[in-house]
Amino acid sequence: MATTTGPLGLPEAVRGCLFDMDGVLTATAEVHAAAWKETFDAFLRARAQETAQPNVAFDEVADYDRYVDGRTRADGVRSFLASRGVALPEGQPDDPPEAATVNGLGNRKNALLLERLAHDGVRVFEGSLRYVRAVKERGLGRAVVSASANAAQVLEAAGIADLFEARIDGLVVARRGLKGKPAPDMFLAGAEALGLAPSEAAVFEDALAGVEAGRAGAFAFVVGVDRVGQAQALREHGADVVVGDLAELLEQR
């Protein structure tokens, strides 16, 4: 495990920071979880009626953390449905939301998410905002690395888009054929966008798949952000340090 020595609670070798968005910068994780639950529960109820199989509803905490948090929409659909013994055809990216395909369910979830964001807005974690501003003041590179295809809209709605020099999101993943977290591809792309080697970048993640990705990519430092009481799991999956809020790192002098 790396040790922290710098004023930002990071090793001195770190020259850039790669931030996950949902749950790290913005409080949209609960909105995502609610949209996933509405999507999956409706699908599972209908399937149970058709097949007479037990209907085990989506758990907004346990299932969200284990199967969908930090992953692309398609990977989240596949991962969760596999836990229920369900496999669907992939379909096409433009499948309608009512289609019983991986892409259809993903599009259904996205439509519900956008409705909720439009209604509820986006909240930024104040401690994260303080930390990112401190990172900028010290001249370190900053990139958002998020599986969300709506990252640009969320960052703009939150008023923090101008704090970052690069963005690797779900659209970039699809365009470049990158593997989603827990593979390190997205974070490696983020480091590359900042002109850095992995050994010069720190990863900030609240998802288990995300800290796994940070560890798999041999990054200089992996910060786990515990918003839901999974500090030990974050450490076990590869976090060098776990904090409840990024502002805590500013106090590690």
3 backbone φψ class: left, alpha, beta (φ>0; ψ -120 to 50): beta
Six-digit token string for 64: 């969200």
User: Do the beta carbons of residue 25 and residue 124 sit within 8 Å?
Assistant: yes
CA dist 8 and 122 (Å) reads 26
Q: Give the CA dihedral 63, 68, 74, 75, nearest 10 degrees.
A: -100
User: Do the beta carbons of residue 209 and residue 72 sit within 8 Å?
Assistant: no
Q: Which residues are catalytic?
A: 20, 22
Strand 16-19's sheet: what is its strand order?
Answer: 166-168, 141-145, 16-19, 201-205, 221-225, 241-243
